[in-house]
Amino acid sequence: MMAADPVARAQERGQNSLLVEADRAYSRGDIDKSLDLYQRAVAKDPTNPSALISLGVTYAEKSNWDKSIDSLKKAMVLAPNKSEIYVNLSLVYGEKEEHDRSIAFAEKAVKLSPKDSAAHHTLGLALEGKGDVEKAIAEYRKGAQVDPKNADIYLTLGNLYTKQVMYDKAIEVYQKAIALKPSSPFAYSNIAYVYQEKGQHAKALEYLAEATKKVPSDAVAWYDLGLAYSKSDDADKAIDCYQKSLALDPNFYKALIGKAMAYEKKRDLEKAAECYTKALALTEDPKIKEVIMRQITRSAGSGSTSGSGR
């Protein structure tokens, strides 16, 4: 979900300490606390559209779409010309897969603020959700024209080009996203995926390695690099990357599974089983547990077969 900049919101609120405190909690990622504070702020002043917008956005963070819509529509009645409201309503209806409503609200946002890149970005997302690829691309491009420094819109456009197997265009806009926001790992991993699909594995490794240099504290970046080394049959480098990922996030079960599979390639089935067992304890998802159990069974079977062969 999109929300107004915390600093701007704090300035708008003036001396309303409840809202300022709520904004701070939201910016820290403490969604439960911010939700409670926004609810109290709205109860204190139900005619404050800014508070209602923030409450709606926070409900969306909790995937409570209906309450989010209710708050945002109350804000819309109070401030019918505020495009931010229509942007957020479009995003919520997109999550509900009510694509026509999502498009209608995004179009209203663009009409109110034609020079707002976020409005064009949102309309692009709504159109993409409906399956209208050409119009979505056009809208993303309009957003980029309005704000050429918006890295996120290039990232979204790159993702759509990738889905459409338009790899050269995807690479072009991912490179723009990286140039504008070199500290974000997403564009690196996405452009690496495109290069892998093009069969240019060395280029993919180059971008993934760059991501770990730019954001060494990102566990997913190290995991992605480990996965690439695994695909290149370099088990030792893969294990090293997975270990670095797990040092940052010991509960990252995907890194444990990757590490286990790399150990299998090295025929170190004891360490593989140890990693699979740890991964199994880190998820409650029955489907994921089933996959891990299949891997453990396969690994055990492979081990016994190998032993009998010798």
Q: What's the Cα-to-Cα distance from 272 to each of 109, 185, 257, 261, 303, rounded to whole Å?
A: 53, 28, 8, 7, 11
Q: Strand runs (DSSP E) across 68-215, as ranges?
A: none
- Hey, is 285 helix, strand or coil? coil
Q: For residue 305, what pLDDT is reported?
A: 35
| pTM for the model | 0.82
Compute how many other C-beta atoms are within 10 angstroms of the C-beta atom of residue 167.
18
- 3-state secondary structure string, 25-62? HHHHCCHHHHHHHHHHHHHHCCCCHHHHHHHHHHHHHC
Task: Read off the tokens for 271.
Answer: 């360490």
Contact assessment for residue 187 and residue 181, using Cβ atoms and an 8 Å cutoff: yes
Residue 258's nearest CA partner among 274, 244, 236, 238 is: 238
Identify the helix (H) or strand (E) that includes residue 147: none
Residue type, 80: P
Q: What string of pLDDT tens digits covers the 310 residues of the chain? A: 554 544 445 445 544 788 999 999 999 999 999 999 999 999 999 999 999 999 999 999 999 999 999 999 999 999 999 999 999 999 999 999 999 999 999 999 999 999 999 999 999 999 999 999 999 999 999 999 999 999 999 999 999 999 999 999 999 999 999 999 998 889 999 999 999 999 999 999 999 999 999 999 999 999 999 999 998 899 999 999 999 999 999 999 999 999 999 999 999 988 998 999 899 888 888 888 888 887 777 766 665 433 333 2
- Hey, is 240 helix, strand or coil? helix
Q: For residue 1, what pLDDT is reported?
A: 53
Which residue has 């090295």 as its token pair?
Answer: 266
